[in-house]
């Protein structure tokens, strides 16, 4: 029997995240890359924390630092996936490239997206508690794109700021629940195609290996080859994140539990709502790596 490993995306970063993560070499590499002495202190500044150039590097590096601490305590995962920028950590954990390369790619990805956003300002809004048909109508009425699909009644929409305002008003009037995300770019929408093209050029010059673990992508289902890996990482910048399908793919592996690596518990909560018979827990719920490993082991994996 087995477990799945999922890596969180951007937006939930906070100074108290990963409370058990020690200040070892992987964490120091993140501080150095960001030019800060202490990432927790830096996250006290909400504006600093929300910037793509900081958040994407920080989350990629810290997720892999956390996995570096957890991996010796656990058997290998049966399957791996990442949510949005969490794919960089997921691909690294699956053996496609090392942690240093993941950090460099996170920096290049953020820079490409920020250059694109400078000419096309926009953002994202989470919409839930609406029927699929109502969400489809909202997309048609506002001209927004579905950036992330978490479930039939839970999506993230992306586009121009005025359209986001209109969507929030329309959805709220229909009883929907809306959450504006603290990002300044319409990630995972066609607006970001120039960023996807630019990032693809970076990926072409980066050494990749075939995944050594079952790896599932936001944009291309299972990744089994180097060309697929490059295509998927570039495409997802401007294409809908199909997280609902990623969860289905992981569940189909017959996993007995799921571990979320990163800040917050958003992915664990989504999983538990979709598959209540297969428990998921997040790193942020534990006070030590050993406690998390013990929880995984309690499901008969070792």
Q: What is the pLDDT of residues 57-66, one digit of tens each?
A: 999 999 999 9
The whole-number pLDDT of residue 1 equals 53
Q: Rounded mean pLDDT of 35-39?
A: 96
DSSP labels, 40-71: HHHTTSHHHHH-HHHHHHHHHHHHHHHHHHHG
Q: Is 300 helix (H, G, I), strand (E, B) or coil?
A: coil
The whole-number pLDDT of residue 184 equals 82
Give the bridge partners for 7, in sequence order: 82, 261
Residues in the chain: 302
The answer to whether the CB of 209 falls within 8 A of the CB of 93 is no
The whole-number pLDDT of residue 302 equals 46
The whole-chain average pLDDT of the chain stands at 95
Going by C-alpha positions, the residue among 181, 117, 122 that lies closest to residue 155 is 181
List, by residue range, all CATH 3.40.366.10 domains of the chain.
3-118+189-297
Going by C-alpha positions, the residue among 220, 267, 263 that lies closest to residue 241 is 220
The whole-number pLDDT of residue 3 equals 97
Is it the case that residue 106 has pLDDT exceeding 70?
yes
At 220, the pLDDT band (50, 70, 90 cuts) reads: confident
Is it the case that residue 13 has pLDDT exceeding 70?
yes
* CATH code matching the domain that covers 3-118+189-297, chosen among 3.30.830.10, 3.30.1330.60, 3.40.366.10, 3.40.640.10: 3.40.366.10
- DSSP at 10: T
Percent of the chain beyond pLDDT 90?
91
Out of 44-48, 141-145, 179-183, least confident range: 179-183
The whole-number pLDDT of residue 4 equals 97
Q: What is the pLDDT of residues 126-173, one digit of tens each?
A: 999 999 999 999 999 999 999 999 999 999 999 999 999 999 999 999
List, by residue range, all CATH 3.30.70.250 domains of the chain.
122-180
Give the bridge partners for 215, in sequence order: 80, 223
At 182, the pLDDT band (50, 70, 90 cuts) reads: confident
The whole-number pLDDT of residue 12 equals 84
CATH number belonging to domain 122-180: 3.30.70.250
Q: How far apart are the first and last CA of the chain?
A: 9
Q: Rounded mean pLDDT of 75-81?
A: 96
């Amino acid at each position: 029997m087995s477990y799945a490993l999922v890596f969180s995306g951007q937006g939930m970063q906070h100074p108290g995240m990963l409370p058990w993560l020690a200040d070892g070499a992987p964490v120091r590499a993140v501080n150095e890359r960001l030019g800060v002495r202490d990432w927790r202190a830096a996250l006290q500044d909400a504006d600093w924390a929300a910037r793509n150039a900081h958040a994407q590097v920080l989350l990629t590096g810290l997720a892999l630092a956390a996995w570096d601490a957890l991996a010796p305590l656990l058997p290998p995962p049966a399957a791996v996936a990442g949510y949005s920028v969490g794919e960089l950590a997921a691909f690294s954990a699956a053996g496609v490239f090392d942690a240093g390369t993941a950090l460099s790619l996170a920096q290049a990805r953020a820079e490409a997206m920020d250059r694109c956003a400078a000419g096309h300002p926009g953002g994202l809004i989470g919409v839930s508690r609406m029927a699929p048909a109502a969400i489809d109508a909202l997309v048609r009425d506002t001209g927004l794109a579905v950036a992330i699909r978490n479930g039939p009644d839970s999506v993230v929409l992306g586009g121009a700021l005025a359209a986001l305002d209109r969507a929030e008003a329309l959805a709220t009037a229909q009883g929907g629940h809306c959450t504006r995300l603290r990002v300044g770019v319409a990630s995972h929408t066609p607006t970001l195609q120039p960023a996807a093209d630019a990032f693809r050029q970076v990926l072409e010059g980066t050494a990749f290996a075939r995944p050594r673990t079952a790896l599932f992508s936001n944009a291309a289902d299972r990744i089994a080859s180097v060309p697929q890996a490059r295509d998927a990482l570039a495409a997802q910048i401007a294409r809908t994140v199909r997280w609902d399908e990623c969860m289905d793919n992981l569940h189909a592996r017959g996993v007995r539990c799921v571990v979320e690596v990163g800040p917050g518990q958003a992915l664990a909560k989504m999983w538990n709502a979709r598959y209540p018979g297969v428990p998921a827990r997040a790193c942020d719920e534990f006070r030590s790596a050993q406690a998390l490993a013990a929880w995984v082991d309690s499901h008969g994996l070792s």
